[in-house]
Chain A
């Protein structure tokens, strides 16, 4: 079985790219199963179900959505196997830019919106730099020159990636993405993340509401860049 992680910035069109890819995978004779991870709420599963593929939703709620995705990788894989899937597609919630929720053996797809401007590839870090495939969406809303400048910036930070220009409305690029998925390797054995998660568990994650510095613990960085460990 193959596993595809579809991550990307909010509103970049991950779900549309995913849905067009599913149709093209079906044309190629591959059976897909989808796990949609979100933070608090989603109804995308109903849209995806209409394509006739098994869908599961995972809501991370109080947990970091990327950590939730990674923590449940084994469960997702065994569920997709039991559904007889050839390809497990996992769409992440895509909020935090510090993590990259990509296990090494999965195909890592980063969906990014060209209208967010050519500086965005420099801002989003490992989510983009450790991806195998970068799907650039909404290119029809900008000039060819802007698409090419955007592409140049993506290549600067991730020279080895495949760039697919896609349109979530027309399905442009989805056949190319489906071909890449078909040709990707199978997952097997223990998988490692491609990039280390943030420096420590954050005090905010454990429920701290007070903003004053003295209440925060862990590896902390000041505005001037000074980094220290506060705790036992």
Chain B
């Protein structure tokens, strides 16, 4: 599968610099840019397969053609799974009821609940139970459940991720679970490590796609040291969370 984003217009009504981007199965693409630059709008255009009918007036094509209008509306046929920035559920129902109903809406087996819970609990330290009420879950539990729900119930060839770094969950592990095999993955990120883990990144400016950068070999080498810094930061965070006092020995990456 190839999806094509045909450039539209930025916030000033000027044509976007990038006129067309193709993304193929198996590719992970980053979307970067300051807040308000249009990253979430780009994700939203992809999620609804914009046909010149969104504020950006972009077109999103599948294998070169506009998709069947039905797949824009019917979750059973929608080839897109999206992890948005939302940190909490608002639905007042149990985890069991919600996941089963979501499975039904996607035409999947409601029995997948146990698999969703099992996966969610690998991402968060505080276990999620089937009879917990959704609205009582912590931010970390909610995000873990959202990620697992997307990986298991919404299992789709296109995965859109709108920021994963502030989720209070294991972000690299979450990205791995969401990406699966041979999927098209677009991930909005402010995190240098996640941005450099992608093959290309779209740079957003003033509501438009300003340019596309291929991750260079030099940047990839950078990635290893970034990963060490990230792991170090995470371990410090864990120590502080546990109420410990840091000593000079921890100050070594």
Query: Which residues in A have some Cβ–Cβ distance to B below 8 Å?
Result: 115, 117-119, 140-146, 148-153, 163, 165, 170-172, 175-176
- Chain B, residue nearest A20 (CB): B55
> Total interface residues on B, using CB and 8 Å?
31
Residues of A within 8 A of B98 (CB): 118, 145, 149
**Closest 7 A-B residue pairs measured CB to CB?**
A175-B53, A152-B105, A144-B82, A148-B75, A148-B105, A145-B102, A149-B101
A87 to chain B, nearest CB (A): 19
Are B89 and A151 neighbours in the complex by a CB distance under 8 Å? no
The dominant DSSP class at the A interface is helix
Q: Say if the beta carbon of B190 comes within 8 Å of chain A.
A: no
Are B90 and A115 neighbours in the complex by a CB distance under 8 Å? yes
Are A149 and B55 neighbours in the complex by a CB distance under 8 Å? no
B62 to chain A, nearest CB (A): 18
- Chain A, residue nearest B41 (CB): A170
Are B54 and A172 neighbours in the complex by a CB distance under 8 Å? yes
Are B91 and A146 neighbours in the complex by a CB distance under 8 Å? yes
Once A143-B89, A143-B146 are accepted as A-B contacts, the answer to whether A151 and B53 lie under 8 Å apart by CB is: no
Are A117 and B92 neighbours in the complex by a CB distance under 8 Å? yes
Residues of A within 8 A of B47 (CB): 144
Residues of B within 8 A of A146 (CB): 89-91
Given contacts A115-B90, A142-B91, A151-B105, list 5 more A-B pairs with CB under 8 A: A118-B91, A118-B98, A144-B47, A145-B150, A152-B104
Q: Say if the beta carbon of B167 comes within 8 Å of chain A.
A: no
Q: Give bound CA distance, A181 to B63, whole Å.
A: 31
Provide a sorted-by-A list of 16 A–B residue pairs whose CB atoms are within 8 angstroms.
Answer: A117-B91, A140-B40, A141-B86, A142-B86, A143-B83, A144-B81, A145-B149, A145-B150, A145-B153, A145-B154, A146-B89, A148-B102, A148-B106, A149-B91, A151-B75, A152-B101
